[in-house]
Amino acid sequence: MTVRSILSVIGLAFTAYLAARGLIWTSPETVVRGWLIVAALVIYLPVTWLWIFAIGARDRRGQSSSGTRARLPAWGVALALIVAVVVSNASFLAVTEAGRTQPFVTWVIGGIGALMTIVMVRRRPIVAWIGMLILAVSTSFWLGPLQALSLGLVGSIVWVTAAQLVTIALDRAARDAERLAELQQAASAWQASQSGRQRERRLHVQRALQAAGPILARTIENGGNLRPADKQAARRAEASLRDELRGNRLLDDGVRAEIDAARRRGSAVSLFDEGGLEGLGAADLNGIRAELAEILREALSERVIIRTSPHHEIAVTIVGRSAAGSAGGDDDQVDLWREIRRPR
């Protein structure tokens, strides 16, 4: 059984015990309207048990905006206040003045106190205190303030006060737990992000060593006197390192191979990641990279510029420029213009 079920059973048993006291008429001669006592019980028990088991039960579709509060229909509040008014007066009306202090009459003090305690637990403090005010006024009218306090009103007030303090503490603990869970999630996300960045940095370092390591070794070995082929290899290694820094999201093994092949053909290839690929999944990025590799495979331009685009329809733009064919021309002409559309 859950804690909620155990508490509900305890509440059921306790309110049933209080109501049972109203059926034990220790001095029948003082009872002049017995039907009022029975009517008070008939009204009290169903409404109280409804509050225990039905009213305020947590919505199965999820928690409310506060995370801990429960559903409380207005008609349930009205029933609780009606019971506070009717039951607090019916038992006293049912007996003579001499019988007003009998246990089968004064049970209503504890009974209404128990109902308002339940209402308080359901996070309706204003309703609970209104009910207690009705109980205090009614019992003081029939018994007098001091006698009402001595016959159980103090205990009922203590119950409701304790219930309010407990619910405040529980709500605060729930908020703290929710805040702690959010902080833990944020810490886990930060740790995962840092781990991802560390792995990415390690990959960059490995690629840099693979690309530039042999050239640096030969440079050191030859004292800086490189052959033309080694100088070209060094330039390509430098360009590939720039690619990793400027457009890493565009690169995979296929794209790297085609960029290297284009540079070996004499093309100057530049990558610029200007945003726009962050929201794409792995499958979409793979499709863009495959299309980019296909375009580079056929590119013959002297300069190839690849830019990502934040446009809502275009993901990547590839522009190729070559020297103008006319004599004396100083401007390059665009001989390649391709756009890779953003996956939908």
Taking Cα atoms as reference points, which of 8, 168, 135 lies closest to residue 176? 168
**Which residue has better confidence, 163 or 201?**
163
Q: What is the pLDDT of residue 26?
A: 67
Nearest-angstrom CA–CA distance, 196 and 279: 17
Of the ranges 31-35, 67-71, 298-302, the best mean pLDDT one: 298-302
pLDDT tens figures, 63-86: 443 444 455 678 888 999 999 999
The average pLDDT across 6-15 equals 75
CA angle, residues 12, 85, 73, in degrees to nearest 5: 60
Q: What is the pLDDT of residue 152?
A: 87
The average pLDDT across 116-125 equals 88
**Which of 256-260, 288-292, 319-323, 327-331 has the lowest average pLDDT?**
327-331
pLDDT at 13 over 80: no
**Which residue has better confidence, 288 or 13?**
288
Residues facing residue 111 across a β-bridge: none
Nearest-angstrom CA–CA distance, 146 and 133: 15
Nearest-angstrom CA–CA distance, 115 and 80: 8
If one counts every other C-beta atom within 10 angstroms of the C-beta of residue 292, the result is 24
Query: pTM (2 decimals)?
Result: 0.55
Taking Cα atoms as reference points, which of 244, 342, 246 lies closest to residue 285? 342
Nearest-angstrom CA–CA distance, 186 and 294: 40
**Which of 68-82, 181-195, 231-245, 293-307 has the lowest average pLDDT?**
68-82
CB-CB contact of 14 with 52 (8 Å): no
